[in-house]
Structure 1
């Protein structure tokens, strides 16, 4: 028998908010048939990953939650953890060796390291040390440098430039460079850094 929508929603809520005791209680009453139920395209495991609730992640995986599933936008649990930015959660997911972080493409055809460029510099650095490819582009032609510039994270931009991999002059499908993106977002410090490195 499949779980009711109401029970599935309760499990998602508990996973999102870090209520480990509630998650255990729900699982004890419903069994494992609820592990991969979806609310708005996401499983409980995806919700726990996005919110950085590692203890819940570990519990769900120990009970048999499917780590290979993706959401409606094609994001997997590593993408979601990278958007969330909890580095210990990202490390745990990486330890599972369940996701190829250079081949998996999520929302807007972004890799997990591109997802982390949403403002999570420490996660970007971790993924780069593990071999993440920072030369890839998304559906909009944005490089990871474009994405970091959109957020205005000077430290992350400086780190990406230090890798000597990302083309500072690369243009996305709108014809914009990373410096153009930073200008448009009003991130003056990032613009000055890029110009000092030769950006147009």
Structure 2
């Protein structure tokens, strides 16, 4: 097994059961980053994709610092924000906000993915703080609402009511919210 494969395997094996175990695993990954090609592709994905899928923002930042291309797409056309949306990691989605309108090979945005997975906090951030387009249809002709998990039904109903009453969907100053609300703070 080469250095690149060892790095990806270490990323996949980051434990989240305790902070001590997680810190130990992240330290190991950060040591491996220096020895591997941070832009290598293994099984159609780069280390940044594996990291975003696992929800490890600190590792993603380390990869970026070491020259990883955060905007690279996986073989399936997904970018880091798609994987972050799938993992339900709000802070990582915010960190990757420049990718909010990126589509994959199935014409899905991060909003589609978060909706399918039922990650309401991510859906809210994508729509209300990042201005994600709720009308984009995937290759099946589905909007994020149409393909969403049933647990989001009330959210979509409330959103429709707000639209009808001309209530702004996107906060007046989303950057201020992202910077001042500790819930969204990226450290």
TM superposition score category, shorter chain reference: 0.7 to 0.9
Instruction: Note if 1:116 corresponds to 2:122.
Output: no
**Structure 2 runs not aligned, ≥5 long:** 15-24, 162-187
Q: Distance in 2 between matches of 1:24 and 1:50?
A: 17
TM-score (norm 1): 0.69
Instruction: Note if 1:41 corresponds to 2:39.
Output: no
Q: Look up the match of 1:85.
A: 88
Matches within 5 A, 1:40-79: 40-79=43-82
Q: Look up the match of 2:138.
A: 138
How far does residue 74 in structure 1 lie from its aligned partner after superposition?
0.3
Conserved 8 A contact 1:83-1:116? yes
How far does residue 40 in structure 1 lie from its aligned partner after superposition?
0.8
Aligned length in residues: 149
**Structure 1 runs not aligned, ≥5 long:** 166-200
Runs of 4+ in 1 over 3 A off after TM superposition: none
Conserved 8 A contact 2:33-2:63? no
How far does residue 27 in structure 1 lie from its aligned partner after superposition?
2.6
Q: Look up the match of 1:178.
A: none
Higher gyration radius (CA): 1
Instruction: Note if 1:15 corresponds to 2:21.
Output: no
Conserved 8 A contact 1:16-1:53? no
How far does residue 107 in structure 1 lie from its aligned partner after superposition?
4.3
**Superposed CA RMSD:** 1.7
Conserved 8 A contact 1:78-1:93? yes
Conserved 8 A contact 1:17-1:51? no
Conserved 8 A contact 1:70-1:76? yes
Q: Deviations over 1:102-139 (max 9, x none)?
A: 2x111421011111112211100010011011111100
Three-state SS of the structure 1 residue aligned to 2:70 is coil
